[in-house]
Structure 1
Amino acid sequence: MMFSVIASPGDRRPALFAEACRAAGLPEPHLIPWQEVLRGAEPRIGAGDLVRIDSPGSDPEVDALLRGPGNPARVGGGARWYRTFTAALRRIEEAAGPRLLGDAREIAVMFDKRLAHARLEAAGVPVPDALPAVRDHAELRDRMAEAGARRVFVKPAHGSSASGVVALQTAPGGRVRAVTSAALAPGGPVNSLRVRAYETEREVAALIDALAPDGLHVERWLPKASLDGRVFDLRVVVIGGEPTHAVVRTSRAPMTNLHLGGARGSLPAVRRALGPDGWRRALAVCARAAACFPRSPMVGVDLLIGQNLRRFAVAEVNAFGDLLPGLTGLPGGTAEGLGTYTAQVKAALLRKTPACTT
C-alpha cells in the first residue's frame, strides 16, 4: 500500500503521517503540495496510490492562493477561501476517483458551519440552537431579541481555529461584552493569539459588521461544565466510526482552543465526573455526529458538555481535526497506545476505512 498526501509542505501533519507510515512498514507517502493543486495543476498521483487530503494549513502562499493577497493574519475572506477550496476538492476527486480516502463533498459540508449544523440537526444529533441568518450587527441584535437570547456564539461560516469567533453577551441597560481572538485594526480585524473583550456597542458593531460579508452562523451559548475553575470541552477523534482519541480542552475564556491559551485537562477527571454512563453517552453522541459523514475515514468532533454534566451538544465537526501530537488512543479501543495518524494507517491496512467509490 502506498499513499499520496495533498498537504502544505511546511505543515506538521504530512510529517506525522509519514512517520506513521514508516512505523507500519509502508513506503514514504508521496507529497502533493496544495500550492500545485490551487494553481490549477492536476494532482500528480502515483499509480495505485490511496489519496489522503490533508489541511492546507497556515502557509502564507497557500493562504494567498485561497483568499487572495493580503495580510495572512487578517480575519475575513472566508467566502472566497471556501469557493477556491471546494473547487480544488472537486479537481482532486476527479483525479483520484475511487482511490480517494474520504469524500470531497463531505469535507465541503464540514467547512460550512451552516450546512454542517443543519446536517447534524436533521439526523437528531444534539447541537446548540441556531438563530436565523443575519447580515449585520443590527440584524443580529434583532434576532437575539426575537429569540430571547442574551448569550450567543457568532461564528464565521467558513472559519477554523476559532478565527473570528465571538462569544457575545448582552445585559439590561445596554451592557455588552464580546470575547474574541480577533483584534480590531485599521484595515479590518486580524487574528491574535490573545483572547480579548470588547465592551462598547460601537466596537462590537464594528467587529460583527466586518465579519458578516463572508457569512455568519449564530448559535445560542451553551454554558460549559467546569473543573478546577476552568471551563472545558472535548475534542474526540472518530476513526472508521469508532471514537478512538479524546482530549480535554480547558480555558478561563469561552474559547478552549489550545493555541489561544487553552490547556489540556485531565481525561480521567472528566470521565470520573461524567460517570460510566455519561462517558458512554458522550462518545455515542460523537459517533452519531461522525456517522453523518459516512464516507469520511476520520472526523474530529468538538463536544460541549453542559454545566450539569448531563447535556451534550456538538459544537463543530472537523475534517482535519486529528493534529493531536502525543495523544494516544482510548484504553480498550482499537487505537489504544496509538497516535491519531498511526491509528488511521492501521485502519486503512485493515480496510476499516476503504477508499470511497464515486
Structure 2
Amino acid sequence: MTRPHLAVVGNPGNRRVTLLQDAAARNGIPAPRVVSWRQVLAEGGARFDPDELVRLDSPGEDPEVDALLRGPGDPTRIAGGPRWYASLLAAAGTLRGGRRLTDPDDLAVLFDKRRCHGVLAAGGVPVPTSPTSGGGAPVPLDWPEVRELAAAAGLRRFFVKPAHGSSAAGVVAVETAPGGRVQARSSVEIAADGVYNSLRVRRLTGEAEVGALVDALAGELLHIEAWLPKPSSRGRAADLRIVVVAGRATHAVLRTSAHPMTNLHLGGQRGDLDTARAGFESAGYGWDNALAVAERAAARFPRTLCVGVDLLPAANWRGAAVGEVNAFGDLLPGLSGLPGRADGLDTYSAQLAAIVEWTGHAAA
C-alpha cells in the first residue's frame, strides 16, 4: 500500500497532534509535517507540497492562537465568535498546495450551526425543529425575539446556541411553561467584564435572569433548536457521539449526564455502548439504522475525511436525529473501533487506514 505523505495544521504539542503522530508511528507511516496555526495566522498562510495530504485540526487550547483569531482576552470568555469564525475561514483560505483532508468549504458550514442545520435538513437528515436554520433565517437580537421565534415554532423546550460555538460554550437549555414561567440551565456565567464559560452547569429561574443571560449572548449570532427528549441510562440523559471516517461510522460513545448538555468536560460520562445498541434493537429501530443516520449526516460533507456526529436517540429508542456535526469531533482517546468497522483501531488509526482509498475516491 502507498504510504501517505501527511501534513497537519494544528497546535504543536497539543494532544490532537500528538495522538495523530502516535498513530502514524504505530502504523509505519512517516511522521506528519506539523504546520502551526500560529504560523499560518501570523505569517498569512502556508504552502504544501503537491503530494501532501493536509489535515486541518482544531486551533483550540492555545491562548495565543485564540487571541489571533478573535482578539485578546481571557480564553474562557464567550465573545468574538463571528470574528473567530471569519478569521478561521480566512486562514484556511491562505493555505496553498497539497490536498485537503478537511475541506475549507465544509469547514465554513460545520462551524456555523445555523447553516449546518439547514444543510442537514435539506438533505433529508432528521434534525430538531429550528426557526433559525438555513439561509435567510431570522437572527434574534435579544431574549424577547428568541422567545417569540421559539413560541412561533411551537417550542416550549429549546436550546439557544452561539452559531460558531463549540464544546457547549454559550449553550442555554430553556424550558417554558404556561403562565410565562421560565427556567434554564447553562454553564455560562455573567461577570462585570463579560460572559464566560465555566465547567459548572447551573440553573436559572425567572424571565429576568434567563433573559439577561440570553441578552448577554445575543452578539454571538444565536441559533435556536428544539430540545428533544433523550433516553435515560441509569437515571442520566443519554446521547451518542459517532465518528464517521470516509463515509462509514467507525466509533461510537454513549454520553450520559445529569444535565441537558452531555459534553464530557461538563460532567458527562462515557456510558455502556451496549445500552444504546440494545435500546435501538429492542425498539425495533436497529443499531445499524442509527449508525446510518450519522453516515447520512456525514455524507453532506463528502470532501472531509472525518467528522463527529452528535446523534440524539429518541426517548423510546425508536428513531434518531442529528444535533450537530463536528469538524474536529474525533478526540476520543483510548476508544476502540466498532466491531466489523474499525476493529482494534482508535479514531486516528482508522483515518490513516482509510486515507489512501478515500483520497482516490475524493479526487474522482
User: In structure 1, the residue corresponding to 2:186 is in which secondary structure?
Assistant: strand
- CA distance 1:355–1:79, change in 2 (3 Å): farther
Give CA-to-partner distance per residue, 1:137-175, whole Å, 9 cap, x none.
Answer: 111111223233211111100000000011001122332
Superposed, 1:1-358 pairs within 5 Å as: 1-46=4-49, 48-92=51-95, 95-97=96-98, 99-132=99-132, 133=138, 134-275=140-281, 277-333=285-341, 335-349=342-356, 351-354=357-360
Please report how far the alpha carbon of residue 300 of structure 1 lies from its aligned counterpart in structure 2 after TM superposition: 0.7
- CA distance 1:355–1:8, change in 2 (3 Å): farther
Moved over 3 A (4+): 353-358
Please report how far the alpha carbon of residue 273 of structure 1 lies from its aligned counterpart in structure 2 after TM superposition: 1.5
Structure 2 Cα separation of the partners of residues 148 and 29 of structure 1:
50
Length-normalised TM-score, structure 1: 0.95
> Which amino acid in structure 1 is aligned with residue 308 of structure 2?
G
Please report how far the alpha carbon of residue 57 of structure 1 lies from its aligned counterpart in structure 2 after TM superposition: 1.7
Please report how far the alpha carbon of residue 357 of structure 1 lies from its aligned counterpart in structure 2 after TM superposition: 5.1
Unpaired runs of 5+ residues, structure 1, are none
Structure 2 Cα separation of the partners of residues 50 and 144 of structure 1:
43
Cα RMSD of the aligned pairs, angstroms, is: 1.6
> Which amino acid in structure 2 is aligned with residue 168 of structure 1?
V
**Is the 8 Å Cα contact of residues 100 and 355 (structure 1) preserved in structure 2?**
no
Structure 2 Cα separation of the partners of residues 68 and 255 of structure 1:
28
User: In structure 1, the residue corresponding to 2:179 is in which secondary structure?
Assistant: helix
Q: Which moved more, 1:144-153 or 1:55-64?
A: 144-153
Length-normalised TM-score, structure 2: 0.93
Please report how far the alpha carbon of residue 10 of structure 1 lies from its aligned counterpart in structure 2 after TM superposition: 3.7
Unpaired runs of 5+ residues, structure 2, are 133-137
Structure 1 Cα separation of the partners of residues 14 and 60 of structure 2:
6
Structure 2 Cα separation of the partners of residues 48 and 110 of structure 1:
26
> Which amino acid in structure 2 is aligned with residue 341 of structure 1?
Y
2:135 corresponds to: none
- CA distance 1:342–1:149, change in 2 (3 Å): same
**Is the 8 Å Cα contact of residues 49 and 97 (structure 2) preserved in structure 1?**
no
Aligned-pair identity (%): 54
- CA distance 1:58–1:170, change in 2 (3 Å): same
Q: Which moved more, 1:142-151 or 1:74-83?
A: 142-151
Please report how far the alpha carbon of residue 201 of structure 1 lies from its aligned counterpart in structure 2 after TM superposition: 1.8
